[in-house]
Structure 1
Amino acid sequence: MSIFERTKEIAKSKGLNLRQLEDKAGLGTNSLYRWKTYNPRMESLNAVADVLGVSTDYLLGNTDNIVPIQEKSINEPMDLYEVDDSERDEMVSAGGRPISDEDWAIIKAVLAKYPKRED
């Protein structure tokens, strides 16, 4: 499936036509139709992926898994109590590297000692 076809399919599933998607992504008229024959610029691809809530890898066909973009801003604090073990690699890192299984076990043990407060 091409970048254009994937984009059109996910837009439709979200109730958007291509013109609406172009508007929301800040693209010019008929920009998406050009994706049938030309690869998009990275800025355009990122803008469309952001609007659709998918990864650029999905739009490029590098994966068939639609991975939603994190809702939280990078600047917002992350609540480690809410990070599931299966989400760890996508949500938590230290120094730009993934948290090892051993370190994650230590973090979970520390969190267990300090139960989450219900404010």
Structure 2
Amino acid sequence: MFADKLKELRKSKPGLTQEALAKQLGIAKTTYSSYEQGKRQPDYEMLQKIANYFDVTSDYLLGINQTPKDATSREVSDLKRILEQQPLTYEKTPVTDKDREAIQNILIGYFWNKGRHRVEHDNDND
């Protein structure tokens, strides 16, 4: 879970290589690469450093929840409501669990990206 999240976050930043991120974090590229491959886990301090770099929580990185640290309680409840809507169908056929998970991941990414835009816009008005 952690390895997948880490790789997904890095790839969401255009042009960010493993080597460049490792340098930003102050670790060897091989160490960082082993995190993405799931061969190694960071210690607590490095986990916090990675979370701060990507502006997410350590819980998000560990797959405990999907909530960025700047989310409001209303955003959290709205997303929960959206994801729990039943039934989810396509052409009157219920979607499979695998498809539901893929759809949820897309919705989560879209939803939190919109939330980040809100935060950036709010910061512009400070």
Q: TM-score normalised to the size of structure 2?
A: 0.48
The root-mean-square deviation of aligned C-alpha atoms, in Å, is: 2.4
Checking the alignment, whether the CA contact within 8 Å between 2:18 and 2:29 is kept in structure 1 is no
Question: Aligned equivalents of 2:44 and 2:61: distance in 1?
Answer: 11
Aligned residues: 72
Question: Aligned equivalents of 2:67 and 2:73: distance in 1?
Answer: 19
Checking the alignment, whether the CA contact within 8 Å between 2:57 and 2:69 is kept in structure 1 is yes
Name the counterpart of 2:12.
Answer: 13
Identity of aligned residues (%): 26
Name the counterpart of 2:50.
Answer: 48
Q: How does 1:1-119 map to 2 (within 5 A)?
A: 2-15=1-14, 16-35=16-35, 36-68=38-70
SS at match of 2:42: coil
* Distance 1:11-1:85 versus aligned 2 partners, 3 A rule: closer
Give the structure with the larger helix fraction.
2
Question: Aligned equivalents of 1:27 and 1:57: distance in 2?
Answer: 22
Question: Aligned equivalents of 2:20 and 2:11: distance in 1?
Answer: 11
- Which sections of structure 2, spanning at least 5 residues, go unmatched? 76-126
- Which sections of structure 1, spanning at least 5 residues, go unmatched? 70-83, 88-119
- TM-aligned CA deviation for residue 85 of structure 1: 7.8
The structure with the larger Rg is 1
- TM-aligned CA deviation for residue 17 of structure 1: 2.0
Q: TM-score normalised to the size of structure 1?
A: 0.51
